[in-house]
Chains A and B, each alone.
Chain A
Amino acid sequence: MAGSRLSTPRAGGARPLPDLPQRSGRALSRAVFAALTLVSTAARADLDLRLEAETRAFTAQARGDAALAAGLRLDHGPRPGEALVLEAFARADAREDARSRADLREAYYEARAGALTTRLGARRVYWGLTEARHLVDTLNQSDLGDDLDGETKLGQPMLEFVFGGETTALSLYALPGFRERRLPGPGGPLVYPFPLALEETRVHADAGVLHADYAARASGQFGDLDLALSWFDGIGREPDILPCLRQGSGFPGTEDEANCAVLDSVTAAAPSPNLLTPLLQALGLVPSDAEIAAELEQRAYANLVLVPVYDRERRLGLEAQYIAEALALKFEGLVRETRGERSYAAVAGFEYSWSGLFDGAQDLGLIVEALRDTQAGLLSARYDHEVFLGGRWSLNDVANSQALGGVLIDSTGAGQTWSLEASRRLDDDWKLGLRLRVFTGGDPNDLANVEKDADELRLTLERYF
């Protein structure tokens, strides 16, 4: 028995030539079969389609908008330990052209071997745990056109290595390619004091097209304590939005591009006075200083545009959460360095949950968070000195009904942002969503307060296939 079994491969090995075409033919048919199963498996089990209809009402501006969107997700495992994920999204918006677009939100390949997981392609990676602000979340650019809350993320090309333990992980990232933040356009909720000049966007990167950002994150759980430390060196995802003089507006320094040194440029544009000027002005032969200034101011205003500027940023982030029964203490902290300036930001707070309420199934959570940010800027001002009070209500019913609401209060008196998000399933394949955001108490005359009329009520209906 043993002898005959051993002799078989030897005999096969002695006749390699006639065996070869037969084997490759078999391999080919096997490959075709595998490809067919691959396609049919993917189509059967892991291809998901979502359609969405959405209406938005900008209540403070007495106007509205409607949109249709589709999302497609393919999740395929060619071999054990490998995966291919594609997620595409497209939307057609009736009024806001900037929202009518298609995007590949995820497109990556994943391979796992031992403790190492490698992923290559466009991905979305979320860091953080606080509610009012996703402070340490860094890697992906936000799509504020989708929603001002910034929770919609654009896919970021990356090479990711994750060395994982039971409850610990070390992740290393190389992030080639930079994506600009998507901002609401005309027709959207924001009313900008000056037109957005996205074509003038400045990205101050060190190495042009071949530039890559780098990041790392170590996370671990120690009993009831969760800790994560993250580091990032690259182009900051949050732009500074500067008022600049439009290119070709005639002001000095606007010949080739917009000039963001507005004061210098406008001052230089004033006619230089000579010895005769006071005399001529007194005789009314030339405009007075005040008239010149007024004329210049008017010209400057008419030529101001908003230019997003991105700079290199290095940031170190810390996330901590401690759970004691129904109480979760949360902290996110950040040290960042950009344009040679160091700034600090933090969100600290807690969520307390009552479970088994009412008919014994519902959960209610109270969320309190304090926010600080020392970075000077138009966007971070929203979080410089705030307190968030919120609540989360989960009915835990068959329809998965839930609501999250709260108010972000500027403790220096610069206004409040009220928000409510609620959703429930209708039947098994339909989902109804509601979002409400109201801005109160801001200075209506402050040009930087672009959100003063951005109140929005949004209804969505989604169908899953």
Chain B
Amino acid sequence: MKPLILLAFCAGLLAALPVRAESPDEKGLAIVRDAEKRGENFGDLRADAEMIIRNGRGGEARRALKIALLDLPGSASRSLTMVDAPKDVKGTALLTHTAADSSDQQWIYLPAAGRTKRIASSGRSGPFMGSEFSFDDFSAQTVERYRFKWLRAETCPAPLAAEQCDVIERVPKESGTGYARQEVWMDQAQRRLLKADYYDAQNQRIKTLMAEGYRQYEGRYWRADRLTMSNARSGASTVLSWSNIRFRSGLKDADFEVNRLGSAR
């Protein structure tokens, strides 16, 4: 009896290994890892950004930002967002340090008070400057922060309807992001994020992010010119338009030090 069971077990194990199909979780993770690999080692990036915040009732407000990113080994990165307009908060700076283990820390510098404040991770789901983007949207979306599951393949959302996309579910491992899960559309050819639907715990769609106007830089890195975050409930939306994107402008670790947040730039 015993040897037979053992034999059957071993046979089953051996049989399972070679023919075992990739699970949806593994497939999702593999696709996202591939996307991450393609975007790796971009060095640094600087850009200007404009946010147009529409409240869904005809009201419109503009924000001017300067953005600086630094890519470090592994999942580590630095991100700095500086406010140029509106003028009353000009000089406000949001700094994010993401460590190699993808844990991150965020600080905000408030020029009126001359104070640098650390933002608790629980406070990052809130809107950034009254927009539909959250503070969290300005930190690095590393692979380690989510669990993935491949859902299906389908034609990409407009305007790339000619392309095939993978639809992948990503679930944040930590709570406090303000949503329970996302469905993300990535084109199969270039692995670019084209669309993301955000769902709450009741599985109601709360927000949709669209990324458009992809351009390739340095012959390799794809960046969208325009990100639109729409609120499914209120009808409000925010368009974040990037311009003047410069790769490898020579940013260093030192430009992202906490003590330099209040420095003139």
Contacts and interface: CB of A to CB of B under 8 A. Distances in A.
A112 B257 CA distance: 12
B134 to A, nearest CB: 9
Contact of A166 (B62, B121, B258): B258
A428 B61 contact: yes
A48 B87 contact: yes
B263 interface: yes
Nearest to B121: A325
Contacts of A117: 259-260, 263
Contacts, number: 117
B33 interface: no
Given A77-B265, A167-B257, A399-B130, A428 B62 contact: yes
Interface string A420-444: 0000010011010000000000000
A294 interface: no
A144 to B, nearest CB: 17
Contacts of B190: none
Interface in A73-91: 75, 77, 83-85
B3 interface: no
Contacts of B264: 75, 77, 83-85, 110
A229 to B, nearest CB: 15
B74 interface: no
Interface string B157-178: 0000000000000000000101
Contacts of B115: 126
28 contacts: A75-B264, A75-B265, A85-B264, A110-B263, A112-B260, A114-B254, A117-B263, A151-B113, A164-B257, A164-B260, A165-B257, A166-B253, A166-B257, A166-B258, A167-B258, A226-B118, A325-B121, A326-B122, A326-B123, A353-B122, A353-B123, A355-B123, A397-B130, A400-B89, A428-B85, A429-B86, A431-B88, A462-B88
A271 B24 CA distance: 104
B97 interface: yes
A262 B85 CA distance: 57
A226 B113 CA distance: 19
Nearest to A165: B257
Interface string B245-265: 000000001100111100111
Nearest to A49: B87
Given A400-B129, A465-B87, 19 more contacts: A48-B87, A77-B265, A85-B264, A115-B254, A117-B260, A126-B114, A126-B115, A166-B97, A166-B257, A167-B258, A325-B176, A326-B122, A328-B120, A359-B234, A361-B126, A363-B123, A396-B130, A398-B130, A464-B86
A356 interface: yes
Max chain B C-beta neighbours (<10 A), residue from A164, A353, A360: A360
A122 to B, nearest CB: 13
B125 interface: yes
A219 interface: yes
Nearest to B120: A323
A133 to B, nearest CB: 15
B68 to A, nearest CB: 13
Interface string B220-233: 00000000000000
Nearest to B256: A166
A115 B259 CA distance: 11
Interface in A377-410: 394, 396-400
Tell me whether chain A's interface is mostly helix, strand or loop, or mixed. Answer: strand
A164 B259 contact: yes
A169 B88 contact: no
Contact of B254 (A164, A167, A226, A355): A164
A419 interface: no
Nearest to A394: B126
B105 interface: yes
A48 B53 CA distance: 23
Interface residues of B, number: 39
Contacts of A162: 259
Nearest to A321: B118
A278 B195 CA distance: 103
A372 interface: no
Contacts of A299: none
Interface in A107-158: 110, 112, 114-115, 117, 124-126, 129, 151, 153
A91 to B, nearest CB: 17
A221 interface: yes
B105 to A, nearest CB: 7
Contacts of B89: 400
Nearest to B86: A428
The 8 A-B pairs with the shortest beta carbon distances in the complex, nearest first, are: A464-B87, A83-B264, A169-B259, A398-B130, A126-B114, A326-B122, A164-B259, A396-B127
Nearest to B89: A400
Contacts of B55: 398
B260 A353 contact: no
Contacts of A219: 259
A125 B114 contact: yes
B59 interface: yes
B90 interface: yes
Contacts of B121: 325
Contact of B122 (A112, A325, A398): A325
